[in-house]
Amino acid sequence: MKCLVMFSGGLDSTIAVHLMQRLGFDVLALHYVLPFYSGLGLSHEVIKARAASLAVPLRIEEEGQEYLEMFKGRQFGFGKNVNPCLDCRIHRIKKAAVVMDEVGASFIVTGEVVGQRPMSQRRECFDIIEKQTGLKGMILRPLCAKILKVTIPEERGWVRREDMLDFWGRGRKGQMAYAAKFNLSYPMPAGGCLLTHVRTAERYADLANNNPDFSLNDFKLLAYGRHFRISSALRFVQARDDTENDPLGALRLPDDTEILLRDALGPAGLVRGEGSEEEMLLACSIFVKYTRERTKDLAAVVLTKGDTMRVIETAPASEEVCEKFRI
C-alpha cells in the first residue's frame, strides 16, 4: 500500500517517512518549494540529499501564482509576522490530495506534532484543516497519532495505533531519541519559513503599502538582497553577495534598471519603478556603499535598462543615508 508523506526534510518529516517505511508502506515524499525559490532554475540539492538518505522517492512541487493567490486571499490571517501558516497548510494538503489520487496513494501522512507550532499545529487547527480540505480522517499524523482522534487508516486496519507515537509540544527530545535509536541524520533546526522573519514582514508591509497590486515577481523579490525605498514609486534592491546575483538577474523585468560596477566585480543592484534622476543617483550612491569601491571618492557604475546603457560616477552614500532609506 502506498502513502504520501509531506516532506520538509526536517526532523519530524524524516521520522514520518522512516516510520511509515518501517511499517512496510510504499512511501512517496512530497516536497513543496516556496515561490521565492521557484522558477529560478535552482536544483534543490539539499532536499534531494535528505530524501536519498532515507532511500525514499521524492516529488518536488515548485509553487507560484497559486500560492500568491492563497496568500492574498488568506482566511485565517498571519502568525507573528506574515506567515499564513494555517491557510498555507490547507493549500498544500489540497494539492497533496490531487497528487495522492494521481499516484494511487491511499492516504496522506504529515510530520506534524500537536502543540508544536501555535499557528497551525493545535488540535483545533487539525480539525479546520480536515474540514477545509475535505479529507476528514484521511490525514495521518504518526508522530502524535496516539493522542489524536482515530483516523480512517486506523479504522480500516492499514495501521495500528500501537505502532504510532505520542509526541506533543515544542520540545524535540522524543524525536531526537527516535532518530538516535534508528541512526537517522537530520539538519539542525533552522529559522523557519522566510515568511516568519521580521525583515520579510517589514519588506512585505512596504510592498503592500506602496504597490497593493504587487505581482508574483514582486513577491519573490522579497527574499533577496538589501532593500531600500527611494520613493513611493522607486524601490532599490542590492544583492548581499555574489550568490544573489543570479536570482536578481532572473527576477529582473524589462522595465527594471540593473546597476553594476564598471571597474570591479561585485554584487548586482536592481531598481524597480520610475523616479527622477536625483533618485536614481541616490540609488547608485547607496549601491556603491555596499561594494569594494566604497572607499573611493568616486566610483563608476553602469546602469542598464532594456537596450540602453550609461555610466554614472558617484560617491558612496553615508551609513546614515543608507539607514534612512533601508526597509
Question: What is the per-residue pLDDT for 178?
Answer: 97
- With contact defined as beta carbons under 8 Å apart, do 112 and 13 qualify? no
Region 18-41 average pLDDT: 97
Residue with cell 563608476: 300
Q: What is the pTM of this model?
A: 0.91
Split at pLDDT 50, 70, 90, the class of 78 is very high
Split at pLDDT 50, 70, 90, the class of 161 is very high
Question: What is the per-residue pLDDT for 191?
Answer: 64
Region 68-77 average pLDDT: 96
Split at pLDDT 50, 70, 90, the class of 115 is confident
Nearest to 31 by CA among 135, 54, 19: 54
Question: What is the per-residue pLDDT for 271?
Answer: 98
3-state secondary structure of 190: coil
Check pLDDT > 80 for residue 64.
yes
Give the domains, in start order, of the chain with CATH numbers: 2-181 (3.40.50.620), 224-325 (no CATH)
- Residue-wise over 132-167: b if at least 16 C-beta within 10 A, else e? bbebeebbbbbbbbeebeebbbbeeebbeeeebbeb
Q: What percent of the chain has pLDDT over 70?
A: 99
